[in-house]
Amino acid sequence: MSKDNISRIKLLDAAFLEVYKFGYHGSATAKILKEAGVPKGSMYHHFSSKKALVLAVVKERILPKMDEFFHFERAQDETAFECIERTVRHIGINKPLVTYGCPLYRLMVEMSSLDEDFDKAVNHGYAQFIIRLRRVLDSGIDDGEFQSFDTQEFAEFIITASWGRLSLSPSLSSSTAFKKHAQFILQLLSQYKV
């Protein structure tokens, strides 16, 4: 890997952590550069602005990490319910996610109403999670595991309720609190079991 690519990767990683902890407006370019260990010119070689850097962070760091957290894809021989149960329980044991909240949701709240590019980027990520979760729910209906219900609405509920629960202040957020939240989601979903 070239030195140029290494600098870009360091910038993305440092910016991800800075924006995740402090938000877009609270993050400082100087601190990102210091954490990345790269000169200012290197940043502008790769990204035209802080905004361009953070949009790249959304695409190349946040969305892939969110794919890991919200991994709504059935494993072989796994029921739809088991897939959702596994995923929501896994979310609750991710310490940074429970401590700092959902990075995509935080940027959505902070930036979507202020900037069309951010709105487009974060909404695309949100839509992808809904599509994947809805596919799992629909597959459960197709398999006769669930009775028919509005899977779009339920998928939106699971994602938005989880993002909201995760994005409470650190004093109100914990793995235990999220486990209770996950249990509530699973109880609601179990009402649709055949």
Taking the C-alpha atoms of residue 82 and residue 92, their distance in angstroms, rounded to an integer, is 16
Find the CATH number of the domain harbouring 35.
Answer: 1.10.10.60
CA distance 62 to 23: 13
Residue 63 in any domain: the answer is: no
Could you tell me the residue range of the domain that residue 9 belongs to? 1-58
Instruction: Indicate if 29 and 90 belong to the same structural domain.
Output: no
Same structural domain, 146 and 183: yes
**Is residue 150 assigned to a domain?**
yes
Q: Are residues 89 and 128 in the same domain?
A: yes
Q: Does residue 5 register a pLDDT over 90?
A: no
pTM of the model: 0.84
Same domain, 121 and 158: yes
How does DSSP assign 123-167, residue by residue?
HHHHHHHHHHHHHHHHHHHHTTSB----HHHHHHHHHHHHHHHHT
Collapsed DSSP state (helix, strand, coil) of residue 102 = coil
Confidence of residue 187 (pLDDT cuts 50, 70, 90): very high
Is 82 found in the same domain as 30?
Answer: no
| Same domain as 101, residue 53 | no
**Percentage of the chain modeled with pLDDT above 70:** 98
Residues 127 and 185 reside in one and the same domain: yes
| Domain co-membership, 125 together with 190 | yes
Lookup: tokens for 54: 């953070």
Return the structure tokens found at 9.
């990767």
Number of domains making up the chain: 2
pLDDT tens digits, residue range 8-19? 999 999 999 999
In a domain, 54, yes or no: yes
Q: Does residue 30 lie within any of the structural domains? A: yes
Q: What is the pLDDT of residues 93-143, one digit of tens each?
A: 888 888 878 888 888 888 988 999 999 998 888 898 899 999 999 999 999
